[in-house]
Amino acid sequence: MRLLFSTLCLLSFAAQAVTPDGKHKLVLIAGKPSHPPGMHEFKAGTTLLQKCLTQIPNLVVDRHEMGWVKDEATFADADAVVIYADGGKGHPAVQENHLATIRGLVGKGVGFGVMHYGVEVVPELGGAEFKEWLGGHYENSFSCNPIWEPEFKSFPAHPITQGVKPFQISDEWYINMRFRSAFKDGIVAAEDAGMKFVPILVAVPPDATRDGPYVYPKGPYPHIQAEKGAPEATMWAVERADGGRGFGFTGGHFHKNWGNDDFRKTILNALLWISKVEVPADGVASSVTADELSSKLDTKPAPKPKKTAMLTPRVFER
């Protein structure tokens, strides 16, 4: 019955949905608690983003926690769905019938975005779909996840970059995504199947970053080292042939980074854009206090001793 109800809801979607009061709607999904305190704070991060978007008069942000929505009926008038959560085999998008649900949404032109670990899926479980919907994804041992501090010096002309000033910030910025089209020298070699791909945040990793160690597995990988001097897209946006939009954002490991105005503005702009809401010329203006940054954090146990953590590095570190 649940699957039948979800299917009926999907059939009612328009390419650009609006709520009963005529607003656009973003469904923002936070993943389950994971990692030590201050990392992967999905609940607190999405709470901050929702707060910063309350000023947008024609947007409703419907935020959910623990990896999925409480009631899939919320998708009936959604313009976009964005997931900020852990990925891999545990990705919320690949649980139960969720891939089919998202496919139905995307097929109606609904936007789909993923953030940080959420850009990773297992190739045989969501890989083809993420290439189709987002233009690419993180693939374990092909991609890698170093902690580094890129300088984002310039940006393409795109609504997501409006008002964003050059910034430099340390995060677990993933590199060498498994894109559907080759990313070389800062551009995508060719569009395919009508998909428009725009690298949003691009930087050149230092040689030491490519030499590792990465967060997990530690590496280094020869194919990553072989690309020294090459730029990497750490955030990208796509427009599909059907008019639907998508983005992948690899940052967001450290919760404190939401306190950086330009880091935060980039994502706030992206959340408007993917929901088909016009982005202000100077981007989304917002402020975050220290108290707001420290609120809604998940209750987490203290980090385990290093020896224990080494036994399960992926769970602890990713």
pLDDT in tens, 126-145: 999 999 999 999 999 999 99
Is the pLDDT at 308 greater than 70? The verdict is: no
Q: How far apart are CA 245 and CA 185, in angstroms?
A: 24
The whole-chain average pLDDT of the chain stands at 89
Nearest to 205 by CA among 226, 188, 187: 226
Average pLDDT over residues 45-67: 97
Average pLDDT over residues 160-174: 98
Phi, psi torsion values for 265, nearest 5 degrees: -65, -35
The angle that helices 98-107 and 127-134 make with each other, rounded to 10 degrees, is: 20
pLDDT in tens, 269-297: 999 999 999 999 999 999 999 999 999 99
Q: pTM here?
A: 0.89
**Tell me, what CATH number does 159's domain have?**
3.40.50.880
DSSP 8-state secondary structure symbol assigned to residue 122: B
Is the pLDDT at 10 greater than 70? The verdict is: no
Q: Which domain holds residue 86?
A: 2-317
Instruction: Provide the number of structural domains found in the chain.
Output: 1
Name the residue with tokens 């328009």.
Answer: 14
Contacts of residue 188, defined as CB under 8 A and 6 or more positions apart, other chains included, come to 179, 181, 182, 197, 199
Residue type, 25: K
Q: How confident is the model at residue 182 (pLDDT cuts 50, 70, 90)?
A: low
Is the pLDDT at 5 greater than 80? The verdict is: no
Q: Are 22 and 76 in contact (CB under 8 A)?
A: no
Is the pLDDT at 302 greater than 90? The verdict is: no
